[in-house]
Structure formats: structure tokens, C-alpha cells
Amino acid sequence: MERLPDIAVLYANGWIWIFLWILDRSGPLLVGGLSAAWVLFVERGLLSAAAFSVPRGGRSAPPRPVFPGGLILGAAAGVLSALAAALYPAPIPALLSAMWAGALLLVLVLPSGRWESVPGARMFLLGYALMLLAFRVFSAWTEAADPYQWAAVFGSTGEAREALARGRSLVHTVWTWLAWFGIPGGFAVWAFNRIAALGFSLADPRAGAAEILRQIRGRGASS
């Protein structure tokens, strides 16, 4: 009984450690979960829609063979995004999560333009993840640049060191603006344009294909 408080403290510390571990890795976990939902529901849905064949003569037609290129690119975007979220500090994991959540929300809100929005969203997500990972490689390469070897180009070791530092500072500044504002902002503008274009169209933006067909038939019957 004397060791009971020590066991309780140890047990509580274990749960606190688990909670802090999950909180510390919540960014990559959230990005991984959102990207997995995208692949399982959106990319597979698009693949099924592309393989669908119209029934003829009252018989169901076999699905058409379709190369799963979009599914592969979507899965690659998810894996690379989760890796980038694990390698970068805030706000990159939050921006990645927001972009994946926005892509899913766009597909859910606009069923009538669902599949047309998938390639654009996929390219935004894949391009952003590739840019983040490529910069890690580029940054490591520039940090490894030796000013003594560049002294012959710039005239002296001191000038070479200053030139390399200014170059790294400029590249880091441009990249920061792109990673924090440029690409996420471009994705937000693109998503808003998709919603605005379909939202102000004659068709109901929240209606699926079957609902739109029913509306057209109802108008024809009423006229």
C-alpha cells in the first residue's frame, strides 16, 4: 500500500507523456488522416466514376479499364504531405491540414462539380508538398557550400562568405513567402472561384447528377 501513490504517479505520467506525444505529432497525424480520407473516398470515387459504363439493353455493362494514375498521384501527395508536416515546424503542418481539409470540403459542398475539382486540388497539394521537400534538400545543399572554395569566384573568403549568406537569406525569404502565403493563398483563391462559378450557375451547386436530371425532367413535364 505504501507504493500505491508512486504507482499512481507513474501511471499518470505515462498518460501525460502519451498525450504530449500525440499533441506534438498532431500535425503529421492530422495531415495523414485527411489525406487518407481523400484517397479512400475521393480518388477511389473518381476512379469508379471513370470506369463506369452505361447499361445497354437492360443489362449492366462491365467497368471500363482505367489506369489509376490519379489514385497514385493522390496517394503520393498524401505521403509527401505527411512527411513534410513531420519535417517542418509551425505553421507548415497547419497550412497542410487546412489545404487538405479545404479540398475535402470542396468535394463535399459541390457534388455537381465534384470530379472536375479533383485534378486541380490534387496538383495544388502535390506541388506544395514537393516544394516543401525540395527546399529541405536545397537548403542543406546551400548550407554545405564552402566559402573557401568560392573564394576564387568572389575574390576573397570574406566576400564569398558574405555573398553566400546574402544568397541564402534571399532564397529563404522568397521561399517563406511562397510557403506561408503564395501557394496556400493561391489554393484558397482557386477553391473560392470553383465555389463561386458553380454557386452562381443555373444548376443547383449542391445537387448531384441524379438530382439535376430529375429537375430537368420535372421542368419538361411542367411545361
pLDDT at residue 212 in the model: 47
* CA-wise closest residue to 130 among 77, 180, 94: 77
Report the pLDDT value the prediction gives residue 177, as an integer from 0 to 100.
95
How many Cβ atoms from other residues are within 10 Å of residue 197's Cβ? 12
Question: How many CB atoms lie under 10 A from the CB of residue 43?
Answer: 22
Please report which confidence band the pLDDT of residue 202 belongs to, taking 50, 70 and 90 as the band edges: very low
H-helix or E-strand spanning residue 78? helix 69-87
> SS3 for 26?
helix
Give the H or E element holding residue 171.
helix 157-177
pLDDT at 218: 56
Residue 13 pLDDT grade (very low, low, confident, very high; cuts 50, 70, 90)? low
Grid cell locating 143: 548550407
Tracing cell 507504493 back to the chain, one arrives at: 3
58: left (phi over 0), alpha (psi -120 to 50) or beta: left
57 pLDDT higher than 90: no
Residue 214 has pLDDT above 60, yes or no: no
Q: What is the mean pLDDT of the segment spanning 154-164?
A: 86
- The Cα 68–Cα 119 span in angstroms is 13
Distance from C-alpha of 163 to C-alpha of 149, rounded to nearest angstrom: 13
Residue 102: partners with Cβ closer than 8 Å, 6 or more residues away: 187, 188, 191
Inter-residue contact 91 to 176 (CB < 8 Å)? no
Closest CA to 88 of 37, 156, 135, 19: 135
Residue 56 phi/psi, 5-degree rounding, is: -130, 140
pTM for the structure as a whole: 0.77
The more confidently predicted of residues 118 and 64 is: 118
Burial of 112 (0-12, 13-18, 19+ CB in 10 A): middle
pLDDT in tens, 71-104: 999 999 999 999 999 999 888 998 999 999 999 9
Lowest mean pLDDT among 28-42, 54-68, 207-221: 207-221
Task: Enumerate the domain spans of the chain.
Answer: 4-52+66-208
Other C-beta atoms closer than 10 Å to the C-beta of 184 total 21
